[in-house]
Chain A
Amino acid sequence: MGLSLQILLPFFGGLAVLFAPRFGRDYERYGTIAVMALTLLVLIFSALNGDSGRWLQLVQADWAPSFGIQVLLAMDGLSAAMLAISSILGIVCVFISWEVTHRSAMYHAVICWTVAAANGVFLAFDLLVFAFFWELMIIPAFLLIGLWGHGNREHAAMKFLVFNAVAGLGLLAAVFWMGATAPEITFDAFVLSEAGYSTPVQVILLLGFALAFMVKLPVPPFHAWLPDAHTQAPTAGSILLAGLLLKTGAYGLFRFPPLLFPEGLMAVAPYGMALGAFGVVYGAILACGQVDAKRLIAYTSIAHMSIVLMGVCGGVHFALAGAGVEMIAHAFSSSALFLLIGALQHRTGTRDLRELGGLQKTAPAFATSFAVFFAAALAMPGTANFLGEALVITGMFQVNWAFAAIALVSLVVSVVYATRLIGAIVFGKPKSETAVFEDLKPYELWPIIALGAGTIVFGLFPQVLIGWLRPAIDAALLPLGVGAP
């Protein structure tokens, strides 16, 4: 029961929030926080007394038996972590957009629905339901960018929609083909995993799934939508986009290819790693060339998520663990950076690095928080990002030294763009208009402290995190024939 609540609670919460302003000012904000907090509590409750087997919780109920569609929700360490992140980011988003007044009821409802759809993706194990939530997720994000963005938001929202919708086709095609050709029509991932397709068929199906995941992950050839979406999205939009939507791509890659097409994955893995390696370097170099702060962070997200792709294709314990940790670390660090840039834009009206500067003099708290996430952006040891990248590099050393070398190059280039970012914003003389603005307000400071704590704690004491991911990693590697490390 706890699992379906994870999806229904935010969804109906969103509906309730729509009507909340009638009861009083800012009720929709408190309502959303209540909904998210409740979802988090339910998650913690159902995770704590989950059984010790492969899945913490498993819910199986028929939805449309004649078509073989059923509500098959399962949660293990990895999905629990993802769900926790989605709820936490939901709360962070509400805190950030405390001054958003333009249609704020709808705004908060859309945030709830994004979280609901993402939770659906993290839990669904019936392929059709998974594809359903996968497509559903695009709509609230599209609304968020399209309605509340800045600049030419229509262009960005449309680009986001087209990219993700077209990619969704790949996933749908594969899912329908698998469902149809199964002996008796079923979309149950576990049943289909024993379907025993021949390797070339597996490769093709894997490419279908991979297309959808790689566009969402943004890996270079398919990443054109991310920089635009991030620059035009409102702060909460960027956070949800970076913290949540990117993770669904990574989660999908982490979960389904090894489960459904082990041989296909083994065949495709080297190309996947090569693509990831290219993505890491390409994203990092482009990040150095940007003038818009949010575009810079968007490209860094591409670099980080390419590392996740390399990790997932690595097929070794360390690589997968690294990918898992990097996903969660990136969720924290990039959300915080977007939050800070959003707050900065809210005050100075610009994101252009050439016009910002001198933050240390005018807003020390702002500068200090920037410094913390500056460290996270360049994967300083002690932050979870470093742990993720170090594990992936270790995995790569076990698989292929060239990819490890490229991942190390990304460590160096990450310093270049990170120093460029903090140099332009914190250092230097304050420009005239940035001189007079107040420091971080409490409702912006608390989320930063939460995200910062998340990054540092998981960086210094990763055993909690890795302990959570172990069952998922072992299960992912079992079909690949990779025993214990």
Chain B
Amino acid sequence: MLAYLLLLVPLPPLGGFLLLALDPYRLDRRPVLALSLAAGIAPLVLFLPLAIAYFTGAVGDMIAPAFTLNFGQYEVALAMQLDPLSAIGASTVTVVASCVMIYAADYMSGARVADLRRFFALMNLFQAGMLSMVLAADSIVFFLGWELMGLCSFFLISYNMTSPRAFAAGQKAFVMTRIADAALLAGLLLLFLEATSVRMDELIPAGLAAEESRAAIIAVLLLVGALGKSAQLPFQTWLPTAMAGPTPVSALLHSATMVAAGAVLLARFAPLIEATPGVAAATAIAGVATALFGALCAIAQTDVKRLLAYSSISQIGYMLLAVGMGAPGVAMAHFVIHAFFKSLLFMAAGVLSHAGGGSTAIEKLRGTAYVAPISFATYTVGAAALAGFPILSAGWWSKEAILGAAVEAGPFGQFLWLVALGGAALTGVYAYRPVLCALRKPLHDAPKGHESWLAVAPLIFLAIMSVLGGYLVEPIIHEMGGHAPHAGLGIEVMGALAAITGLIGSVAVTFIPSWNARIKRARRLRAGMQMDAIYYAFLVRPYRRIVRLLSGRDGRLGKHIGEGPEAQEGGMGDPVGTATVVFGLWLARVVTAPFMPDRFDTVIMRGAREAQRAGLWTRRLQSGRLRDYALGFALGLGVLVILGWGMTWG
């Protein structure tokens, strides 16, 4: 019976969304905030007892079926389940979401009521989407949640309605994630065809049992789906621009939950990925490459939110590396820890930037340490966890687990371990830059700002989790059925050394003017290796040119037929459509051409003219003169008399 409680978990945010979006009761500011918080925190309240019961073993795996639809031997049974992955994922999501909601209540207090209502409605819908994805027991609910997150991210990124930049960012994010979603949908549908059922527990064995080429294709499609959503290498350009959204959105979506959904997906379908070694290797390589790429780009950033965005990309790269190495448990552990410290970093950065005069540029953060000390302290803890400060921060434990998993995975793993180690060092460099910058003395001494407890409480909680989270790593890995990797003391020492060098590097970069100048000049790096520009040049612009050509708005498609609406647009759009019209008009002309000078008509008219001339001629007979008639009379008489006489001859 407890299973149906599962179904209840995503419902409160959904209810919150409906109430806020449709706004039947015309709520004003306070009720809106109250309703949003209630709907935001309710899943945590509902799910925590379940999670605790589950982790303490009081409750086993559960499946709560929603409805079934059978289609011949195919059976579509939608349901939600409670298993290790969904328990861990859901609890993380609910915790982080609640913290962000509380933070947002304070952070967004400046907005208009209508905007506030729209913002919280979308945040609640997002949480419902994420929860249904994580808790899904079948591919349909999974994909439903997956796409709902994409939709909410579009609306939330372009939350600031009036700025075209925000809308462009939202559109870019939505299109790129949608490409990945299409691949994911293809994979899921192929799996469905394979397994004649939608349930995960039947999909995965069927995927394993599928013949070689088909299984490989499915695995690749799932990987592409994960890469797209988690903004990994080929698809990563949308995440930095997505920072145009408000900070709470970045804190929830673009750090902890949505971008990490790719990792959850891969963890969910890990057996399929591992079944095809090629794809597993590809995942690992993609992960490591993205980690390195993200770290490098983050170093060159001048805006703290873009810095954190690139760091998200890089951290999720690590999770992919873990899945690639065949350790989904480790990936999930890092997912949990990363969720905590990354959302903390984003929220703290939000408060610091407010304290530093509203702009999120790192330079502006100078001296904010003294303006908002608590936020600065929590930011430092978060940065330490991000950099993987040895022993003290939770980040260290989960990163060590990943590096250990990489080492244990054989020679190929060791090579990746080396690269990942370099990445870890670079992470250290960029992680502390905002912290050190904030520590420097302010240019002009700003008064000590007031930090409302509503904003600070979640920060403190998350800071604690970022430190104590290390203890969670071991149990999570066991829960997920993996074994905690013990790579030996040497590897751990190497990891610690990397973290320390990262810290030293960060100090060097901020305080040594020459190095600092070199970072400022690294424009290509800052623009993410200009991949954005490359995509635009090779993909977006040709596409736009084709669209303009086909829709005729560049006027090159020949002059216009008839006086239809296309006339105002200059040139004929829709070539295929007009081809039919042109063919029709040509056919009509050809068919009617022989009759154009209507030959029958001309013949008839000629006859008519002859008749008319004859008519005129006879008219002259009717001269109106009496004598002519008398002559006619006489002529007639004469003829008759002759006839009469002629007859008497017989």
Question: For the complex, what is the distance from the CA of A398 to the CA of B550, rounded to whole Å?
Answer: 32
Partner of B550, one of A223, A285, A394, A412: A285
B362 within 8 A of A: no
Partner of A416, one of B161, B175, B182: B175
Known: A162-B584, A289-B547, A368-B22. A390 touches B189 (CB 8 A): yes
Question: For the complex, what is the distance from the CA of A411 to the CA of B147, rounded to whole Å?
Answer: 12
**Segment of A96-104, A150-158, A337-345 in the binding face:** A150-158
Contact B574 A286 (CB under 8 A): yes
Contact A166 B584 (CB under 8 A): yes
A21 within 8 A of B: no
Partner of B577, one of A152, A224, A408: A224
Question: For the complex, what is the distance from the CA of A393 to the CA of B185, rounded to whole Å?
Answer: 9
Partner of A382, one of B148, B185, B562, B565: B148
A53 within 8 A of B: no
**Segment of B65-73, B90-98, B625-633 in the binding face:** B65-73
- CB 8 Å contact bits of A210-254 with B (1 = contact, 0 = none): 000000000011111001100110000000000000000000000
Partner of B158, one of A375, A398, A427: A427
Question: For the complex, what is the distance from the CA of A364 to the CA of B174, rounded to whole Å?
Answer: 22
Residues of B with C-beta under 8 A to A199: none
Q: Nearest-CB distance from B572 to chain A (Å)? A: 10
Residues of B with C-beta under 8 A to A285: 546-547, 550
Residues of B with C-beta under 8 A to A429: 162
Contact A292 B565 (CB under 8 A): yes
- CB 8 Å contact bits of B543-574 with A (1 = contact, 0 = none): 00011101111000000001111000100011
- CB 8 Å contact bits of B66-96 with A (1 = contact, 0 = none): 0101011110000000000000000000000
Q: Nearest-CB distance from B298 to chain A (Å)? A: 29
- CB 8 Å contact bits of B108-147 with A (1 = contact, 0 = none): 0000001000100000000000000000000010011001
Q: Nearest-CB distance from B359 to chain A (Å)? A: 22
Question: For the complex, what is the distance from the CA of A231 to the CA of B573, rounded to whole Å?
Answer: 15
Q: Nearest-CB distance from A400 to chain B (Å)? A: 13
A282 within 8 A of B: yes
Q: Nearest-CB distance from A290 to chain B (Å)? A: 6
Contact A380 B148 (CB under 8 A): yes
Contact A428 B151 (CB under 8 A): no
Could you tell me the dominant secondary structure of chain A's interface residues?
helix
Residues of B with C-beta under 8 A to A390: 185, 189
Residues of B with C-beta under 8 A to A397: 186, 189-190, 193
Q: Nearest-CB distance from B19 to chain A (Å)? A: 13
B318 within 8 A of A: no
Contact A291 B569 (CB under 8 A): yes
Size range of the chain B interface in the assembly: 35 or more
A304 within 8 A of B: no
Contact B577 A220 (CB under 8 A): yes
Question: For the complex, what is the distance from the CA of A227 to the CA of B581, rounded to whole Å?
Answer: 13
A321 within 8 A of B: yes
Contact A221 B580 (CB under 8 A): yes
Question: For the complex, what is the distance from the CA of A295 to the CA of B552, rounded to whole Å?
Answer: 13
Residues of B with C-beta under 8 A to A412: 175, 178-179, 182
A257 within 8 A of B: no
Partner of A221, one of B158, B170, B576: B576
Partner of A375, one of B151, B175, B547, B576: B151
Contact B551 A289 (CB under 8 A): yes
> A393's closest neighbor in chain B, by CB?
B189
Contact A408 B182 (CB under 8 A): yes
**Segment of A55-63, A85-93, A264-272, A461-469 in the binding face:** A461-469
Question: For the complex, what is the distance from the CA of A415 to the CA of B161, rounded to whole Å?
Answer: 19
Residues of A with C-beta under 8 A to B430: none
Residues of A with C-beta under 8 A to B547: 285-286, 288-289
- CB 8 Å contact bits of A393-413 with B (1 = contact, 0 = none): 110011000001100110110
Known: A152-B565, A289-B547. A423 touches B171 (CB 8 A): yes
> A361's closest neighbor in chain B, by CB?
B161
Residues of B with C-beta under 8 A to A227: 574, 577
Q: Nearest-CB distance from A20 to chain B (Å)? A: 34
- Most chain A CB within 10 A, of B147, B190, B192, B579, is at B147
> B158's closest neighbor in chain A, by CB?
A427
Question: For the complex, what is the distance from the CA of A232 to the CA of B563, rounded to whole Å?
Answer: 13
Which chain A residues (338-362) contact chain B, with CB distance < 8 Å?
Answer: 358, 360-361
Contact B175 A415 (CB under 8 A): yes
Partner of A286, one of B74, B155, B551: B551
Contact B573 A289 (CB under 8 A): yes
Contact A155 B67 (CB under 8 A): no
Residues of B with C-beta under 8 A to A183: none
Partner of B71, one of A291, A378, A408, A485: A485
A317 within 8 A of B: yes
Question: For the complex, what is the distance from the CA of A405 to the CA of B224, rounded to whole Å?
Answer: 14
Question: For the complex, what is the distance from the CA of A292 to the CA of B584, rounded to whole Å?
Answer: 26
Contact B154 A485 (CB under 8 A): no
A440 within 8 A of B: no
Q: Nearest-CB distance from B503 to chain A (Å)? A: 43
Question: For the complex, what is the distance from the CA of A358 to the CA of B69, rounded to whole Å?
Answer: 42
Q: Nearest-CB distance from A336 to chain B (Å)? A: 16
Q: Nearest-CB distance from A260 to chain B (Å)? A: 25
Contact A286 B573 (CB under 8 A): yes
Residues of A with C-beta under 8 A to B574: 224, 227, 286
B484 within 8 A of A: no
Contact B69 A462 (CB under 8 A): yes
Partner of A409, one of B158, B182, B546: B182
Residues of B with C-beta under 8 A to A380: 147-148, 151
Residues of B with C-beta under 8 A to A224: 574, 577-578, 580-581
Known: A285-B550, A390-B185, A408-B182. A371 touches B161 (CB 8 A): no
Top 4 A-B residue pairs of the complex, sorted by shortest distance between their CB atoms: A289-B551, A485-B72, A224-B577, A289-B547
Binding site for B on A (CB under 8 A): 151-152, 155-156, 159, 162, 166, 220-224, 227-228, 231-232, 282, 285-286, 288-292, 295, 317-318, 321, 358, 360-361, 364, 368, 371, 375, 378, 380-382, 386, 390, 393-394, 397-398, 404-405, 408-409, 411-412, 415-416, 419-420, 423, 426-429, 461-463, 466, 484-485
With A358-B162, A411-B182 known, 18 other A-B pairs at CB within 8 A are A282-B550, A286-B573, A289-B547, A290-B551, A291-B569, A318-B71, A368-B21, A378-B178, A381-B147, A382-B148, A390-B185, A393-B185, A394-B189, A405-B186, A408-B183, A412-B175, A427-B164, A428-B164
Binding site for A on B (CB under 8 A): 21-23, 67, 69, 71-74, 114, 118, 140, 143-144, 147-148, 151, 154-155, 158, 161-162, 164, 167, 170-171, 174-175, 178-179, 181-183, 185-186, 189-190, 192-193, 546-548, 550-553, 562-565, 569, 573-574, 576-581, 584
> Could you pull out 13 A-B pairs where Cβ atoms are within 8 angstroms?
A162-B584, A227-B577, A286-B573, A288-B551, A364-B114, A380-B147, A381-B143, A381-B147, A390-B185, A393-B185, A423-B158, A423-B171, A485-B72
